[in-house]
Amino acid sequence: MSFELDPSFIVDMENRPNVNVAAIGREEVPVIDLSGDIERIVEEVGNACKECGFLQVINHGVPLHLLEAMKETSKEFFDQPMDEKKKAKRDEVNPVGYHDGEHTKNVRDWKEVYDFLIDDSTLIPASPDPDCQELRTITNPWPKNPSQFRVVCQEYAGEMEKLAFKLMEIICLSLGLPGGRLKGYFEEQTSFLRINHYPPCLFSDLTLGCGRHKDFDFLTVLAQDDVGGLEVKRNGKWVHVKPDPTALIINVGDICQVWSNERYKSVEHRAVVNGEKERYSFALFLVPSHHVMVKPLEELVSEEDPPKYLPYNWGKFYATRNRSDYKKQNVDNIQIHDFRVPN
């Protein structure tokens, strides 16, 4: 597909990409080998979460041939005519499927996406209204073509899900908690996987594939292709994360920041676009059941370190964000800082 440079894509001067940003080496984003001694892994993951918020993992157990299959079937899907892709479209009622109108901070993103739920039948609130108790079941609108699309996506998502839960246990251990401390919050998870397609953009100095943001989940597991485009905010500057075909990129999200009472913090990041090449990335967002109240864990608060956040219902938070993400709004999206306890 192709986009014309509609004004809705243009990023303000302060946040436009810097074409001179240098690629950062592995010393900037820690690379952690997930094979071997668990005590070493826990320590290294904890340090990375505390100091950086991002890490790369190798020997992660996700077969590389599955990633290649995802790239192939995703390209087949996005290469189809728009009418065909929109047969699996998402809208304000159904939050999963194909979409080409994502906005971040009220600026349209230069990308098209296909989102699908990890659990194909998932309960979410019917409305962001806090007084509405109605729930509805959502399912994935799988496209008929490519014929192998659903099978490949589900197989890949299954492997990514296993890795995400393994990392969740490691993060718990790094916080001094039992490895299974958070497992119960995900029994009816609303986790999903997003396929991002970033078309080539002749105006890559004016636009972003995805504007600056922090992830609202517990953690994200990202695979990016060899084109690359992920940039992370480090010490007030944007740095480019160099693609590594053997590594997956992990970052902690806002829910982790709240549960850990800010021992670990989510980090701002964005995606730039390429003037000549299309780009694909695949992100699993690990998020809890709709009924979970997100608040600092009782084991991680004390008189000296009281809760830094008021509780919020994850399902209502998600419903509010989904409504705002679907189309451009005149107000900023809901964020965890809306629940921050004043100092």
Which domains are delineated in the chain? 7-339 (2.60.120.330)
pLDDT reading at 24 higher than 50: no
Residue 139, strand partner residues: 121
Three-state SS across 92-124?
Answer: CCCCCEEECCCEECCEECCCEEEEEECCCEEEE
What local confidence, expressed as pLDDT, does residue 23 receive?
46
Cα 332 to Cα 320: distance, rounded to the nearest angstrom: 11
Question: Helices 38-51 & 149-174, crossing angle to 10 degrees?
Answer: 90
What pTM, to 2 d.p., does this model score?
0.94
Exposed / middle / buried, residue 4 (Cβ in 10 Å: 0-12, 13-18, 19+) = exposed
> Strand 54-58 vs strand 31-33: parallel, antiparallel, or unpaired?
parallel
Of the listed ranges 8-17, 137-146, 165-174, 266-275, the least confidently predicted one is 8-17
pLDDT digits (tens, 9 = 90+) for 31-45: 999 999 999 999 999
- What is the model's pLDDT at position 272? 95
Cα dihedral sign, 24-283-335-44: negative
- For 282-297, write each residue's pLDDT tens digit: 999 999 999 999 999 9
Is residue 193 a contact partner of residue 153, using CB atoms and an 8 Å limit?
yes
The pLDDT tens digits of the residues spanning 71-96 come to: 999 999 999 999 999 999 998 778 99
Question: Which helix (H) or strand (E) is 152 found in, with range?
Answer: helix 149-174
Planar angle of CA 164, 104, 245, nearest 5 degrees = 40
Q: 212-223: b or e for each residue (b if 16 or more CB lie within 10 Å)?
A: bbbbbbbbbbbb
**Is residue 326 very low, low, confident or very high in pLDDT (cuts 50, 70, 90)?**
very low
The yes-or-no verdict on residue 231 having pLDDT over 80 is yes
Say if residues 143 and 129 touch (Cβ distance below 8 Å): no
